[in-house]
Amino acid sequence: MFTLDFLKKVLQKPFHIQNINHPLLGPHVWLLRWLGIWHPIMNGITRFKLSLVYITFGFFFSQYIKCCRSRTLEDLKLLIQFAPFHTAVIKIVFFLKDHKIWTELIAYISSVEREELSTMEPKIKRVIEGYIKYSRSLTYFFWMMAVLSNLSIFTDLYQNVYHQKNVTEEYIRLFDGYTPFSREPPGYYYILTTQFIFANMVTIYVMAWDPLVVAIMIYFAGQLKVSGFYCKRAIDLTSPEASHQNIVKCHLFHTKLIKYQEMFNSLISPVMFIYLIVISVNLGVSITEMVELQDDPAAFIYYCVYLSACLVQLLLFYWHSNEVTEESLLVSYSTFKSDWVGTNRSLQKEMAILAHTTNKRLVFRAGPFNEMSLTTFVSILRGSYSFYTLLNETN
């Protein structure tokens, strides 16, 4: 039976995606390095992989040029309908642009986890091992979902081509980027092959970027729990000096966590803003297409799978962003669970300052205005439905 555990074993054994230097991000670093997107060391193989990335960028960019030149509603509709594929290109463009910052962030995350796992604190180790296991499950689930979604999309496409009486009457396609082939057979089949290659490439880019972002959100939620644990045990009634050092450690740990959370937010915010706009319009268009289907169960199933994949993908971001926000509100309360009542007045003042400095609400934003939360997720669904009703009334 095909399960997540089976997929985990299959992925782990042949590719060694676990990495002791990156306890949480091992699978993500492996995939990014395999694609050539994450390249701490530049060599000939990495340059070749990057050239494939740039060719993919060029293909998708050419579709925008063709759409602007043709100015037809069908070409625009095609762009919107398969826009999530195009956002993969945007994600990788921003990743390469900010590669040094991503490298610093990944190094920080892994160094903190290695240090914490090397300690003899069982509670901290349980927290880290717990969120690593949870992140692995989500990553493998997302990878499986991406593969199944691709199979659904291409199965529907090739079935339409196979049952079409005259393939030259309607050029069935996912993308309309520039290719040097004719739209009539046999060139048309070369175009289908090109679409298949580039669609799978951008799918792998999504499989690399999206679970990485979700995993880092899970990391911050887990480390906020660790920060709360440090605050709770800050006071040592037998040693005022040790209590002072613990308070300093708590402050430095939480301040550094906030610094890198803000860094991470700056990395994903512009991408998530573009994705927010694209997915809102895309959901409306896809729902319209699905409602217009008549006596085509295969196409209906395809749209159901496609919409489900888009919604799950969006929900993963907003759910775990919301988890980080909720955990950030609990850190300050942990200071009151310490033995601050039984210590001296000086340490009580320090604990009050620590409670104030850790009382910071951490959020991730999609652009300058939209906070990534479950409330925003519901608003996106409402906006997509409103867009669908607008399209429906226009038609």
pLDDT of residue 31: 92
Residue 367: inside a domain: yes
Of 358, 340, 364, give the one whose Cα is nearest residue 252.
358
pLDDT class for 308, splitting at 50, 70, 90? confident
* Residue 257, pLDDT above cutoff 90: yes
- Comparing 126-135, 187-196, 270-279, which segment has the lowest mean pLDDT? 187-196
Total domains in the fold of the chain? 1
Distance, CA of 241 to chain centre: 43
**Looking at per-residue confidence, does 253 or 283 come out higher?**
253
pLDDT of residue 318: 94
Tell me the average pLDDT across 86-111: 92
* Residue 6, pLDDT above cutoff 70: no
Residue 247: inside a domain: yes
**C-alpha span between 341 and 344 (Å, rounded):** 8
Residue 284: inside a domain: yes
pTM of the entire structure? 0.86
Percent of the chain topping pLDDT 70: 79
* Residue 340, pLDDT above cutoff 80: yes
Mean of per-residue pLDDT scores for the chain: 82
Residue 340: inside a domain: yes
Residue 58: inside a domain: no
Whether 339 contacts 276, CB under 8 Å: no
Distance, CA of 27 to chain centre: 14
Tell me the average pLDDT across 108-121: 89
Residue 194: inside a domain: no
Tell me the average pLDDT across 173-186: 69
Residue 383: inside a domain: yes
pLDDT class for 392, splitting at 50, 70, 90? low
Residue 197 vs residues 98, 192, 204: alpha-carbon distances, Å: 26, 9, 11
pLDDT of residue 304: 74
Whether 224 contacts 327, CB under 8 Å: yes
Domain with 382, as residue range(s), is: 4-25+100-166+203-394
Residue 195: inside a domain: no
